[in-house]
């Protein structure tokens, strides 16, 4: 019997798993996918919003501001990348400028640092800002992270402290017994006293397993993006248009942690919760709407397009509460933007405001909530690189030529707790295939390393999902 089973290994679920791992509790984290962070956490704008956007008196506002402030320490503790780029919200004309006043007022009251810039002042910092931009509200503390890196690091810490993680485990049915739940999955039954529903796009579906009349409805909302190679340096800050009620935060230009640029997203409701395909229409929308705030977009440097699904909800606020009719079943649902920025605070909110009422939270001895930063050659000086290679020559064997990732780094990420066992898992953790050739060069090499290290045939190595075979058959 588990004390707690968390359904969903995205940023919310993994953050909670890490925080719970310090207590004397029997915790499991289950996810239907083949890796940590394969849903909304994998495909989004990767921004730690500072919290000026949510309406007053909402959980969103409270947890966003709090969560954003926690990230600096979390990334330090977990050895994760984080870059403070600052954000510009760019207004075009008087009507939009008025809207900036509302954001500035919220920022003022919430203690968020902001600055005003004229259009021309902003263009001095951002040469590709469109001429139509008349005024900019700048939030210099806004940061970007690698969301899945943080989620994976949290999962790693959780596992090290005794949390059990089960992937490819899809919740099919939940039965409520007198004092516990049974979660029936394709991978066996899990008995638990408490269930945390952190299943993102699937949150309504999971909730319906215990409640016929859910108070929220989740509709997947697709966002499509372009990725530019880091050979072109397009923006310094995250550039937002003025947000609107219908279109959310709009089409952005985002500098990533490793120097790429994200352009997007659009916002498109879809029926299929698995539909992460891109479309001509969606990508055209991004191109058309980006011209409002940006110019000289170097589309010739596009190396990829992708789409992610956000769990858009009928309820405008986060729903983080014990289900009214199902004691012991706790929803962490309706978590769309700013879910990433809020996640650390969401986790604390669940523990302090909900779980503490039911469970005795006593700290374990010898827990370690931090993770040593995995060695990343790209982050090192030439002297440090030389030293690293002296200690382990495989750090000198480059496998990904675009991003200059070594075999040593790939082996490290395979053999860590919650290690990579798929080609995309390696890509998520140490980035081979993220560059201009998109794995054309390194994928066969990564595949062979995975087969060797996992002691499986190359034909058994998958791209991401467990049936996503890359090789069909041997040909000798």
Partner 1 sequence: MKKYQAVIIGGGSAGLSAAVTLKNQGIENILVIEKDGEPGGILQQCIHNGFGLQTFKEQLSGPSYAERYIEQAEDLHVDILCNTMVIKLNPDKTIEYVNAEEGYVTILADAVILAVGCYERSRGAVEIPGERPAGIYTAGQAQRYLNIDGYMVGKKVFILGSGDIGLIMARRMTLEGAKVYGVAELMPYSNGLPRNIKQCLEDFDIPLYLSHTVTKIFGHDRLERIEVSQVDEHLKPVPGSQMYFDVDTLLLSVGLIPENHLADEAGILMNPRTKGPIVDDNYMTSVPGIFACGNGLHVHDLVDFVSMEAARSAAGAVRYLNNTLKEDHKYEVFAGDGVNYVVPGLVSASCDHNVEFFFRVRQNFEQAEIVMKSGDKVLRKLKKRKLMPSVMEQMVLTTKMIQELEGDITITVTEVSDGK
**Alpha carbon of 312 to those of 61, 182, 271, 336: distances in Å?**
17, 28, 12, 6
Distance CA 11, CA 274 (A): 18
| 444 near partner 1 (CB under 8 A) | yes
| 304 near partner 1 (CB under 8 A) | yes
Burial of 237: CB neighbours in 10 Å, binned 0-12, 13-18, 19+: buried
- Other CB atoms closer than 10 Å to residue 162's CB: what's the count? 13
| 386 near partner 1 (CB under 8 A) | yes
**In the bound complex, what is the minimum distance in angstroms from residue 394's beta carbon to partner 1?**
7
279/348 with CB nearer partner 1: 279
Q: Which one of 102, 368, 456, 468 is in contact with partner 1 (CB under 8 A)?
A: 468
Cβ–Cβ < 8 Å for 20, 193: no
Cβ–Cβ < 8 Å for 308, 265: yes
Cβ–Cβ < 8 Å for 217, 336: no
**Alpha carbon of 158 to those of 164, 384, 447: distances in Å?**
8, 30, 28
Does 26 qualify as catalytic in the annotation?
Answer: no
Distance CA 210, CA 200 (A): 17
**In the bound complex, what is the minimum distance in angstroms from residue 274's beta carbon to partner 1?**
6
34/199 with CB nearer partner 1: 34
**Alpha carbon of 466 to those of 272, 451, 462: distances in Å?**
20, 14, 6
| 401 near partner 1 (CB under 8 A) | yes
Binding string, 110-149, against partner 1, x = CB under 8 A? Answer: ----------------------------------------
| 465 near partner 1 (CB under 8 A) | yes
165/446 with CB nearer partner 1: 446
Element (H, E) at 184: strand 181-185
* Span of 23-31, 81-89, 238-246, 302-310 interacting with partner 1 by CB under 8 A: 302-310
248/298 with CB nearer partner 1: 298
| 467 near partner 1 (CB under 8 A) | yes
**Alpha carbon of 402 to those of 234, 381, 433, 462: distances in Å?**
19, 18, 8, 22
| 463 near partner 1 (CB under 8 A) | yes
Cβ–Cβ < 8 Å for 329, 339: no
**In the bound complex, what is the minimum distance in angstroms from residue 123's beta carbon to partner 1?**
25
Residues recorded for the chain: 476
Distance CA 86, CA 416 (A): 33
Concatenated DSSP letters for 11-36? HHHHHHHHHHTTBS--EEEE-SSSSS
Q: Which one of 326, 376, 394, 454 is in contact with partner 1 (CB under 8 A)?
A: 394
Q: Which one of 280, 324, 366, 455 is in contact with partner 1 (CB under 8 A)?
A: 280
| Distance from the Cα of residue 320 to its chain's centroid | 19
Binding string, 227-246, against partner 1, x = CB under 8 A? Answer: x---x---------------
Q: Which one of 448, 452, 456, 460 is in contact with partner 1 (CB under 8 A)?
A: 448
Binding string, 325-364, against partner 1, x = CB under 8 A? Answer: ----------------------------------------
**In the bound complex, what is the minimum distance in angstroms from residue 450's beta carbon to partner 1?**
13
**In the bound complex, what is the minimum distance in angstroms from residue 406's beta carbon to partner 1?**
8
| 397 near partner 1 (CB under 8 A) | yes
- Other CB atoms closer than 10 Å to residue 428's CB: what's the count? 24
Distance CA 17, CA 196 (A): 10
| 398 near partner 1 (CB under 8 A) | yes
Under the rule (CB under 8 A), what is the footprint of partner 1?
Answer: 227, 231, 274-280, 282-283, 302-306, 377, 382-383, 385-386, 389-390, 393-394, 396-398, 401-402, 404, 406, 436-441, 443-444, 448, 458-459, 462-476
Active site residues: 49
């Amino acid at each position: 019997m588990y004390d707690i089973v968390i359904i969903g290994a995205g940023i919310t679920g993994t953050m909670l798993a890490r925080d719970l791992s310090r207590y004397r509790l029997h915790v499991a984290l289950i996810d239907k996918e083949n890796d940590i962070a394969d849903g909304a956490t994998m495909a989004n704008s990767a921004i730690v919003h500072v919290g000026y956007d949510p309406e007053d008196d909402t959980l969103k506002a409270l947890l966003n501001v709090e969560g954003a402030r926690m990230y600096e320490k979390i990334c330090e503790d977990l050895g994760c990348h984080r870059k403070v780029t600052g954000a510009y919200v760019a207004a075009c004309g008087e009507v939009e400028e008025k809207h900036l006043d509302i954001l500035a007022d919220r920022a003022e009251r919430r203690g968020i640092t902001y600055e005003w810039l004229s259009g021309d002042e902003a263009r001095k910092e951002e040469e590709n800002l469109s001429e139509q931009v008349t005024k900019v509200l700048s939030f210099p503390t806004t940061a970007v992270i690698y969301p899945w890196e943080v989620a994976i690091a949290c999962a790693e810490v959780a596992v090290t402290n005794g949390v059990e993680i089960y992937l490819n485990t899809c919740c099919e049915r939940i039965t409520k017994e007198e004092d516990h739940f049974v979660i029936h999955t394709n991978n066996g039954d899990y008995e638990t006293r408490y269930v945390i529903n952190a299943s993102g796009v699937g949150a309504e579906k999971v909730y319906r397993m215990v409640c016929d009349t859910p108070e929220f409805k989740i509709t997947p909302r697709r966002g499509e993006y372009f990725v530019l190679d880091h050979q072109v340096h397009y923006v310094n800050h995250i550039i937002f248009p003025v947000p609107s009620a219908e279109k959310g935060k709009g089409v952005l230009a985002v500098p990533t942690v490793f120097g790429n640029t994200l352009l997007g997203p659009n916002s498109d409701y879809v029926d299929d919760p698995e539909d992460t395909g891109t479309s001509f229409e969606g990508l055209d929308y991004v191109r058309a709407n980006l011209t409002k705030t940006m110019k000289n977009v170097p589309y010739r440097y596009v190396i990829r397009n992708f789409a992610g699904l956000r769990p858009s909800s009928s309820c405008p606020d986060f729903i983080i509460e014990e289900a009214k009719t199902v004691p012991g079943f706790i929803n962490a649902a309706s978590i769309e933007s700013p879910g990433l920025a809020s996640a650390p605070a969401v986790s604390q909110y669940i523990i302090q405001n909900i779980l503490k009422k039911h469970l005795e939270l006593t700290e374990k001895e010898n827990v370690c909530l931090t993770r040593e930063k995995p060695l990343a050659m790209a982050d090192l000086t030439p002297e440090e690189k030389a030293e690293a290679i002296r200690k382990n020559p495989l750090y000198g064997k480059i496998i990904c030529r675009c991003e200059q990732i070594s075999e040593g780094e790939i082996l490290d990420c395979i053999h860590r707790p919650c290690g990579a066992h798929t080609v995309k898992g390696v890509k998520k953790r140490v980035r081979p295939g993220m560059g201009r050739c998109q794995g054309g060069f390194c994928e066969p090499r990564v595949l062979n390393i995975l087969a060797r290290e996992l002691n499986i045939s190359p034909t058994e190595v998958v791209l991401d999902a467990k049936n996503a075979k890359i090789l069909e058959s041997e040909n000798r």
